[in-house]
Structure 1
């Protein structure tokens, strides 16, 4: 775990709210000069605390209206087969998240597609073509009340 001081945490909170904030704007909000703020951000990037920068898209406006959570059980739990399974499934562009889980299934994926037809195509033509799948159970989001990428620090 990377050791962070209060200034690092303030920088991270500000960047989570607006990743396009300039060094000058950050400096003004932190009452620091630009050089130390720039150096701290570079340190946070190098250490991997800041993983990357991206835009958060409005999926509804892009026609991506169906979010599904697929719980997947696999047949064989050997290391090689699990690694091959993970590699193949995480490469599908429809898969937004991939989690190892405890409980009745082995994995859970979050899938984002336009509609139920596209989801059916994803399951039948893509996911079930991956070797070693034993069972897939799908849950569909009826309405998202909170979607955020902000981490509470």
Structure 2
């Protein structure tokens, strides 16, 4: 997005000074503004970076020296991570009372949680690449998912 702060300020109805403070980190970017940008530009990386900034952790775009062929790396990593999740969760039962879990079981639960984090990371990377490459709506996909959760009675 190649716009000046002045052009952007008229587009988002904020002063240039306010945008400058947000850009420099002197003021937090408001969630509504972030959503407006994600809606307008369909930028999944912006969504992930915003979530990372708001909560202090999360998925960020890979930019290291090994991230040259991002799409094929992510495809391979997500497949490996999902297989790891299936293997690790098959070995645990999370319906046990935490105070009565043996240390070996707790170790397996910890491993499965770590595998889940890995799978979530690579799955979100995969989703971001698919949305960006094939111009799929990042917010639209999440809104569809939320609607399914709601219709299944998981959220109000």
Q: TM-score, normalised by structure 1?
A: 0.31
Relative to its length, the structure with more strand (as a share) is 1
Q: Which has the higher contact order (CA 8 A, sep 6+)?
A: 1
